[in-house]
Structure 1
Amino acid sequence: MYNGRMDPTEHVSHFNQRMVVHSKSEALLCKVFLSNLGPVVMRWFDSLKEDFINSFKELTRVFRARFVTCSRVPQPLDFLLSMAMQERETLKTYSDRYWEMFNEINGDFDDVAMRTFKVGLPAKYDLRKSLTRKPVKSMCRLINRIDEYKWVNEDQ
């Protein structure tokens, strides 16, 4: 249900994924799309002039344009580069915060992310020492290594 506060592009994308088997029926797409709008958004839709929208593509274009202020803005890479583990922060909390920020950045920065995660750890951490001695070559391996250390050192 779209409430007028979420990213409209994400909403349309999720809707399209759910409706992929019905994508040939424009009328059905429009009707089902409207059934996923909350009260505030329905008031907006009801205020549109009759025959203003002629296709599902047009409906989603107008919808995105109207709710563009709710769009999520990707974060710059600088945000990731400035992250560091805080005093008394656990490894779990730091890694959760780090990956959340990583997912907000557009672009292919896996190499940078793998390096800056390590640099953000305090020098005393065994995980940092391990990543220095034996660097990982993929995000998957980094996440696996972090998970191993979370299990072994839950207090870190």
Structure 2
Amino acid sequence: MFRQPNSHLLRRGRYSETGRAYLVTAVVHPRFPLFSDFHLGRLLVAELKRAHDSGMVNSWAWVIMPDHFHWLFDLNDATLADVMRQTKSRSTLSVNRARRSRERFWQRGYHDRAVRVEEDLRKMARYIIANPLRAGLVERIGDYPLWDAAWL
């Protein structure tokens, strides 16, 4: 099992508030570009959609980058820890099934940021989905296949 230095500090002060918007980021260890494979990226998308469809969250925007993902959502009927545990666990199972592997690939923990009421969710969503542009993966957002936002 791999541990990131100071990963335990990510949990300090974490609080789940129903109805609050959160921006979360989870990273593949050791920044391996696992989701460069479109099929594997779509398996992760299915897990984000499952969390939304089950009522745990209300998704606003997400992007799957080659070695991490960003996800903006309102927390509904679950804790932040439950959402991330289920999403990472289920995606590990489906990705490993497709790869015929048993490896753990997510770094421990995740980064979360509670969104303040006065912050503009659309502006945050635009920032999230522009990640492939800033990373130089595409020249136009529409050319990148692994993103979505509620405001289309």
Q: Which of structures 1 and 2 has the bigger CA Rg?
A: 1
The higher relative CO (CA closer than 8 Å, separation ≥ 6) is in: 2
TM over 0.5: no
Category of TM-score, reference length = shorter chain: under 0.3
Higher strand share: 2
Name the structure where helix makes up a greater proportion of residues: 1
Q: TM-score if structure 1 supplies the norm length?
A: 0.24
Give the structure-2-normalised TM-score: 0.25
